Chains A and B, each alone.
Chain A
Amino acid sequence: MTRRTRTWLLLLPAGTWFLVMLLLPLSVVLVFSFGERAPAGGVVPAFTFEQYANLPARWTAFKNTLTLAPIGTLAALLIAYPLAYFLAVKVDAKWKTILLVLVIVPFWTSILIRSYAWIFLLGGRGIPALLDWVGIEGVRLINTPFAVLVGIIYGYLPLMVFPIFVSLDRLDKRLLEAAADLGATKWNTFRQITLPLSVPGVATGCLLVFILLMGEFLIPALLGGGKVFFVGNALVDLFLQSRNWAYGSAVAATLVFVMLITVTIYMRLIARLGASRDDVSIM
């Protein structure tokens, strides 16, 4: 067996799988988005922009996604940065790995059950009951944008901490000593050395969290109670309840398109800031 045949044989299963289970389905979405809704619930092939023209009907879902995703990303960043800094710069080497693993691991566990925990905590008998007890009455937390935001931060904080940690951990600690020796204040050292050098990590973290938030369904479904809904919730409704595949495909294609545009603009901005795009790995 030649080297060439071997390579092809090794790639064959994965290639076929990607073709049938990724490229084919995504093409079907694209084709359907230009089709017309069939009376029975399927799609009549056509070439019309009718579905796309109809997008404003789901404007609220897009608006919610495009406001809460950036706000959630920013909030996660503000909470994650100090922790990542602490883990990378302040913590003893022997504790580093275990503390880092403790941050990352919740991210890989069931987001469903972790969001469920917040239904429990934010629901009538959770934190509001506690507040009631100390005298603050009538606070409603569940099914509000705040609840969704808490769920988002809780769900995606680990994903933000990790890349920032990696970039700060790589930072040459002698630079910090040198700055201190040269009489820089702690704040100036942070502002002029640590912060600029951690930009790649911050950029990666924000990108990862933002991308995942754009397609979020579970957190708004469980904590937003139908009042705060994302594009993901609109998609579930369109495909599983009203079975409007043509319109649903147009919404899905638009979501991916908006995501690609945002990510491209973002990458450009980051490149201009002089950061590299390496290390998107989260393990």
Chain B
Amino acid sequence: MRIYAICVYLFLYIPIGVIALFSFNAGRHASQLQGLSTKWYGKALDNPFVMDALQTSLLVAFISACLASLFGTMAAIALQGIKGPVRTIFDMLIYIAVMIPGIVIGIATLIGLVTLFDQLNPLLATLWPEGAEPPKLRMGMGSLIAAHTMFLMALVIIIVRARLAGMDRALTEASSDLYATPFGTFWQVTLPMIFPAVLAGFLLSFTFSFDDFIIAFFVAGSETTLPIYVFSSIRRGVTPEINAIGTLVLAASLILLITAQLLLRKGERKPR
């Protein structure tokens, strides 16, 4: 049994390890190990396309994770206090957002927004003052952030709601019995208790957005995110440079994710 478990862990981690090992390859060929060096990391970090893509990915991930954590937490708190049709509708929306395959979300966002922009652009042009160049809505960083935020918001709502449901209601009741204002109760009682969940939601959202390929592939317009760059490089062939980028991305997300996991598990363990 134990040996079996070790085998599965090896299966899970050997491919990651191989990528990491070969990223330190001194040789020019991707699959022949010829001494160790960090030169491919240097190459990758000097490549302006990589740095551009990285910058786009980080910006998109940060903004969407912030928006999703804020709006998602707000919605989760509101949903905690209500019953009836509004709650059912939100439950359904979250369910749809999570269940529909990412590829369908990507496609739908692409054709939905293009159609919407086709309607809005002439309207904007007429509203704009004579002489000035009217703004033109198109697919790009904005649509990418909007699409990611939608999906991540559903994720944050699920995580924060789970935490709120596990919270002792008596605490907020006691707080209002003691004449705390609703905001005071929120600030001093609810927020500190759900904070680990919100932070975990933020970290997960950030990683999700940063790693997302399929939605970005459809929605990013002419922007290139890091996963899009990696995908098109893989199409051209396996290079040590991709190994280096891959190792960096995996290492960064592993750190973020383990932090998120520990936060969530720490938050769950409540004294009884």
What residues of chain A have their CB less than 8 Å away from a CB belonging to chain B? 3, 6-8, 10-11, 13-15, 17-18, 20-29, 32, 79, 82-83, 85-87, 90, 97, 101-106, 108-114, 116-121, 123, 125-126, 154, 157-158, 211-212, 214-215, 217-218, 222, 232, 235-236, 239-240, 245, 248-249, 252, 255-256, 259, 263, 281, 283
Contact = CB atoms under 8 A, between A and B. Distances in A.
A154 B15 contact: yes
Interface stretch (B41-49, B124-132, B153-161, B167-175): B153-161
A214 B2 CA distance: 33
- List the 5 closest A-B pairs by CB distance, nearest first: A215-B101, A25-B112, A25-B108, A117-B15, A10-B78
B16 to A, nearest CB: 6
A116 B246 contact: yes
Contact of A108 (B149, B182, B257): B257
14 contacts: A10-B74, A14-B74, A21-B147, A22-B93, A79-B8, A83-B4, A108-B207, A108-B257, A114-B15, A116-B246, A235-B103, A255-B104, A256-B100, A283-B159
Interface in B59-117: 70-72, 74-75, 77-79, 81-82, 86, 90, 93, 96-97, 99-105, 107-113, 115-116
Contact of B108 (A26, A157, A215, A236): A26
Contact of B31 (A6, A13, A83, A125): A125
Interface of B: 1-2, 4-5, 8-9, 11-13, 15-16, 18-19, 22, 30-32, 70-72, 74-75, 77-79, 81-82, 86, 90, 93, 96-97, 99-105, 107-113, 115-116, 146-147, 149-150, 153, 157-159, 162, 182, 200, 204, 207-208, 211, 213-214, 217-218, 227, 230-231, 234, 238, 242-243, 246, 249-250, 253-254, 257-258, 261-262, 264-265
B101 A259 contact: yes
Nearest to B5: A86
B54 to A, nearest CB: 13
Contact of B78 (A11, A23, A28): A11
